[in-house]
């Protein structure tokens, strides 16, 4: 529980200029962060950035381009290294992505994932199932033009998974999701 003095994400007087709401660690120990920030140490990083293991900004992760146009609230790293991003945004690097997007390991937008229709409200939670399907929780009531009150499961391509039925869903927003070892949600 002691502070790791070798980790310092605020290496400059500018630091991170807004809240960090989501963190995910890649296999190489690099750290993806998402939130309400627009720069780190004076370098423009709209709502998403990658830090090195020591907390310094990873300048090589510049492929998100203009990044998200609003807050990033959820992150998950898939086994293949691709990065799922959820939040309040409606575009990512100028491309329509309604509150859900997937990035390639280098940070570029993954064109094989369709987040354009996406959710009609915020995505606050992302969890991955062993079969690569994706669980989303948030403040949305529809996903992909299908009624999904605050909880849905999508296929690896971003489409709604019609094989699961959460009934009426949840009566309020979902802020976190966990998949148990027996695959129960």
The per-residue pLDDT for range 22-50, each reduced to its tens digit, is: 999 999 999 999 999 999 888 899 999 99
Mean pLDDT, the chain, integer: 92
pTM for the structure as a whole: 0.93
pLDDT at residue 15, as a whole number: 82
- For 88-126, the pLDDT digits (tens) are 999 999 999 999 999 999 899 999 999 888 999 999 999
Using the Cα atoms of residue 161, residue 164, residue 167 and residue 170 in order, give the sign of their dihedral.
negative
Q: Indicate whether 70 pLDDT > 50.
A: yes
CB 128 within 8 A of CB 179: yes
pLDDT band at 129 (very low <50, low <70, confident <90, very high): very high
Burial of 103 (0-12, 13-18, 19+ CB in 10 A): buried
pLDDT at residue 11, as a whole number: 46
pLDDT at residue 148, as a whole number: 93
Quote the CA–CA distance of 92 and 109 in Å, as a whole number: 8
Residues 6+ apart with CB under 8 A from 44: 38
pLDDT at residue 110, as a whole number: 95
pLDDT at residue 180, as a whole number: 94
Q: Indicate whether 64 pLDDT > 80.
A: no
> Which of residues 26 and 14 earns the better pLDDT score?
26
pLDDT at residue 41, as a whole number: 84
pLDDT at residue 9, as a whole number: 67
Q: Indicate whether 13 pLDDT > 90.
A: no
């Amino acid at each position: 529980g002691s502070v790791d003095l070798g980790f310092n994400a605020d290496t400059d007087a500018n630091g991170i200029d807004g809240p960090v709401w989501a963190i995910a660690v890649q296999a190489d120990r690099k750290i993806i962060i998402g939130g309400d920030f627009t720069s780190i140490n004076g370098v423009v990083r709209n709502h998403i950035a990658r830090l090195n293991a020591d907390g310094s900004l990873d300048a090589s992760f510049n492929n998100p381009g203009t990044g998200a146009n609003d807050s990033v609230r959820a992150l998950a790293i898939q086994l293949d290294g691709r990065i799922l991003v959820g939040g309040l945004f409606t575009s990512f690097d100028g491309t329509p992505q309604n509150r859900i997007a997937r990035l390639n390991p280098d940070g570029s937008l993954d064109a094989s994932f369709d987040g354009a229709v996406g959710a009609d409200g915020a995505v606050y939670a992302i969890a991955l199932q062993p079969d690569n399907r994706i669980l989303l929780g948030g403040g949305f009531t529809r996903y992909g033009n299908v009624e999904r009150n605050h909880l849905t499961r999508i296929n690896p391509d971003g489409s709604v998974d019609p094989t699961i039925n959460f009934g009426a869903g949840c009566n309020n927003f979902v802020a976190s999701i966990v998949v148990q070892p027996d695959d129960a949600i």
